[in-house]
Amino acid sequence: MKHQKPRDEENRGKNNGSNSIKMNNNNNMKKKKRLGGGGLSLEAFANAKTKGDFYNPSLIKKQKEFYKNAKHVKKYKKLLKQQSQQHDISPAIRSVEDENETEDGSRMGMNKQNKKNPGVPSLKEMYDKKHEKKEKERIEMQAVLQAKKEEREKAEARRKAAREKMFKKTRAGQPVMKYRIEHLLETIQNSTKN
């Protein structure tokens, strides 16, 4: 019976029941404000991951490439349209060209049509150039990697030889000091040169 509350404290709790609920609500509100609000609702939490408003560099790169290709296709179609218009020359112009025939019977105007427009490269040429560029880059990268690999192998061989010399032992099991002293001498000479 040591821990019993006095009767007046029990009565005080019954009388002030509504006040204690208000205080609890106030405390809860203060906690929410302090912690940054009530948090996300279940629906908001579920829909938070479905939004697509995020930065994705790979998508941006694909879009740029798509628009670039679309531009090339548009230029190509425009060029085809121009060429087809040149082939469908009106009869009045054809009669003028007939008058311009040379002695050997060839037309001068046809030479102009057969020449390609130097300002607009074809898609195949662009593809070939891009492919050649990638191939050159790949070959250069392989050469660099091969050189690094050879350098690494040489350095490893030098270290292995030095390690073998450093760990040589006499018959009695003592280290051979000759190689260790040579190594120290080399390091001192290299440090004085630099």
For the chain, give the mean pLDDT.
77
pLDDT digits (tens, 9 = 90+) for 100-110: 555 455 555 44
Q: Is 175 helix (H, G, I), strand (E, B) or coil?
A: strand
Long-range CB contacts (within 8 A, 24+) of 124-132: 126/72
Q: Which of 5-19, 46-60, 77-91, 125-139 has the lowest mean pLDDT?
A: 5-19
Query: Which string of DSSP letters, residue by residue, matches 137-165?
Result: HHHHHHHHHHHHHHHHHHHHHHHHHHHHH
Q: Which two tokens stand for residue 29?
A: 């509100």
Among the residue ranges 3-7, 146-150, 176-180, 184-188, the one predicted with the least confidence is 3-7
User: Residue 176 in contact with residue 169, Cβ under 8 Å?
Assistant: yes
- Torsion angle (degrees, nearest 10) of CA 25, 28, 33, 39: -120
Asked if pLDDT for residue 174 goes beyond 70, the answer is yes
Take residue 124 and report the two structure tokens written for it.
């195949």
Residues with Cβ within 8 Å of residue 123, at least 6 apart in sequence: 72, 76
Residue 92 pLDDT exceeds 80: no
pLDDT in tens, 25-73: 787 777 777 666 666 677 777 766 665 667 788 888 888 999 999 999 9
Collect all residues with Cβ–Cβ distance below 8 Å to 167 and sequence separation of at least 6: 175
